[in-house]
Structure 1
Amino acid sequence: MPSARVNSEPFVASVVAFLAGVTCVATFVEPAAAQTVPEMPRAPVFGPLLAFVVALVLNLLFGAFVLGVAPQYSRALVARIRSQPVESFVYGLLTLVSVFVAVVALTITVIGIVVVIPGVIVVAIVGLAANLLAMVAFGAVLARAAGSADPWKSLVVGAVAVSVLSIVPVVGDLTNFVLGTVGMGAVASRYWENRKE
């Protein structure tokens, strides 16, 4: 009669090999885990003065470029921002939401991706110019209080004021958002008015 005994030697050998492997891994892992990980060198943090100088130089350079390339358009847009700041802000919010929805809708299709990339670049350039012109309008308000309304003086006053505000953590982000939204709204509202005419 055949024996009903099961040969358990392979099973026992497998369990012993497994436990030996776990013990071996644990002996190597534990000392490695106990070691301290060296700290990565931190990126240098710009001081407030250097951040102010960099922001001021960039604002002056780009602002002067926009004023120099399109002086009449810049004056008209600055005047619109100063006369209709709330309306420009609302138009800006609607424009940002519309651009976001259009980008999401176009990226669904393969053909739309080809259109989205140059479109986003154009919107970014227009947004930068609009932000700079809103900065000039902000400077014009401050300069008007000092008795001057020259666009170049407004550029300097606005660049200094925005650069000072930009080094304050929350205030700087909020200032850039408001100026960018107002500027974009002024561009959009002027564009639609010209199309209607």
Structure 2
Amino acid sequence: MLTVGNWATPESNSANLMRSSDVMPTAFEQFYDFSHNRQWLVIKTKMLNRLFQLSKQHKSGLVPDFSWVTQHNASSVKGAHITNKYANDYYYNACRVPMLLAQSHDPLAQKTLTSMLHFFAKHPTVTAGYTMSGKPLNDYQSASFSAPLLMATSWYLNQGYDSLFFHEQWIFAKAMTKHDYYNATLTMYAIMFSQGRL
């Protein structure tokens, strides 16, 4: 599996820490196609399995920003040696997961994504961050959360998520921010990703 950085050595406390937004099944398949190194397919399978396990642990189907992983399991980072107070929430790392899973044909990617989309489709407004039980962490919207959902639902039209697809288009009605590269980048991705589907 990928580590969270080259500093996450076997001797460090972060060696078994997984960042949910590092689970990129389509990219891993492309790396394999280019290199013919089957290790990329192993990485894809292992990381998708852990992400799926995390999603199944909660009725919301959401996944946290970070988790501890072993050869066979994934678990919460609560009480562990990590300083990020939102590490165990669906926050500014995990919010990218829907767009990273959307184009994958892997059954585990599709199951994880549809569980998440089902949760968000039940809410008229998607806010910036959620606990694993589905409780909003903030009362405002953010393109960082809406843009990845717009991208994901654009690949799932006529499958029960169309209202979510239309609700999240609010990001195109606002002026592009000049002081938040993260929001702006994900909004631009949404524009390019959703071409022909809007």
TM-score of the aligned structures, taking structure 2 as reference length: 0.20
User: Rg larger in 1 or in 2?
Assistant: 1
Higher relative contact order (CA 8 A, sep 6+): 1
More strand by share: 2
